[in-house]
Amino acid sequence: MTEQNELIFDPQLIRRFDINGPRYTSYPTADRFVEAFNADALKHWLAKRAIGGVSKPLSLYFHIPFCNTICYYCACNKIITKDHGRSAKYLKYLAKEIAMQAACLEGSRQVTQLHLGGGTPTFLSHDEMRELMASVREHFTLVPNGEYSIEVDPRKVDFDTVKLLAELGFNRMSVGVQDFAEDVQQAVNRIQSFDETKLVIDAARANGFKSVSMDLIYGLPKQNVISFNRTLEQVLEISPDRISLYSYAHLPGLFKPQRRIFMSDMPTPDTKLQLLQLGIRRLTEAGYVYIGMDHFAKPNDELTIAQRQGRLHRNFQGYSTQAECDLLAFGVSAIGKIGPVYAQNVKTLDEYYDALDRDELPVLRGIELTADDLLRRAIIQALMCHFELSMQSIEIAHLINFREYFAEELADLKEMEKAGLVKIDGDWISVQPGGRLLVRGIAMVFDRYLRADRERARYSRVI
């Protein structure tokens, strides 16, 4: 059997199987949610959390949509402003949503994981950050040694801010970099020096942060192999605990800021593959372990250990060690998961404020998973997190005959098996080293919604 995280970069396989597909931070994916699932449905499931006297620990997500400046590549739900009056108002409504969800909630209020995303959470002033965390602690108990993380823009953060974050309980940090090359930074409107990035990460380590992650993107305008190699050298000099190496998805029809990027500046598909190959080689040679998708971590990192022990999980923040949590989500566009349901909030500030003014939870849409959804979610999780699947364990957990239930899917996997992406051996489906980078495409075989709907243009490409 191959090493779990062994990775083979095969350009021919990638060109052949690089298709558009979901990232599977949830299954079913958010585009399958329905508006028939409303605030009443979410309240119902919040109240059912403790049925049978057992309730899972909680993970909390807060979406802070504000940014000082616009990054042209960005596809997040964000609001560009320098007006802190807007964030002050938002926090008041966020506090109301926290109180309303907490009032509906049955069972444990113990939180083992918390994440602030955006936008730019560090847009908030020191007093606003204190105010938000006070609202959280008023309604929930953050357990000692939980995972409390925040996304940080180094351009707007100094040592004192990092010190405050540590005092408020944060112990993990994700730092956006994308690329250190000046011409690339100008092309995407994100000017950020190596020194200010290193200062923030040094501050995190000095203040006891357990893990620091850095985000890079390949496929950006003006990128080339020589300049990207220099960026990788600088990243390795900082030596973060985790590195995310994301593929840039250029979808200007969907994301307006991307229209400011010139197509003439974009690397060719071959260059983009070379950038990925270079990134994988440099990171693995430096000792980072390939976790899956676009994530790398040091051998002693909690993600690597969780994968080794079969405990790795995938959610809306990517890979996680917290598999058994119910996820409560707060703020515009945020997505939560309670038991067998997902719920997503409205996407604009006006809708968010209007719903809360009516004393309604600001739910836009959601979905209650069927037995088939839960079954397929378990399969996709196993493939995405562990690169292997025991048919027998699925049969025991879901009371099915795997080969009968998934006869069509297993037939579709035959082409991938011939190409060396997967191996079907007895009761095991194993993603081979040459198929690891294409695991999204393998998981798509088990997506019932995609099998019925072959329209995939709305998704980014796998590579």
- Known binding-site residues for [4Fe-4S] cluster equal 67, 71, 74
Could you tell me how far CA 285 lies from the centroid of its own chain?
A: 25
What is the Cα–Cα distance from 25 to 232, expressed in whole angstroms?
Answer: 27
- β-strand pairing of 58-64 with 326-330: parallel
Cα separations (Å) of 63 from 252, 267, 330, 442?
23, 32, 6, 31
Per-residue burial over 14-51, b = 16 or more CB atoms within 10 Å of its CB, e = otherwise: beebbebbbbbbbbbbbebbeeebbbebbbebbebbee
**Dihedral angle of Cα 441, 446, 448, 449, to the nearest 10 degrees:** -20
Q: Minimal CA–CA distance to 129: which of 99, 166, 97, 79?
A: 166
What's the one-letter identity of residue 14? I
Total residue length of the chain: 463
Beta bridge partners of 152: 175
Three-point CA angle 119, 341, 170, nearest 5°: 40
Q: Which residues fall in the annotated binding site?
A: 61, 67, 71, 73-75, 118-120, 151, 178, 190, 215, 249, 335
Structure tokens at 152: 């940080």
Which DSSP helix (H) or strand (E) runs through 139?
Answer: helix 126-139
User: At which residue do the structure tokens 């072959």 appear?
Assistant: 454
Q: Which residues fall in the annotated binding site for S-adenosyl-L-methionine?
A: 61, 73-75, 118-120, 151, 178, 190, 215, 249, 335
Helix, strand, or coil (residue 143): strand
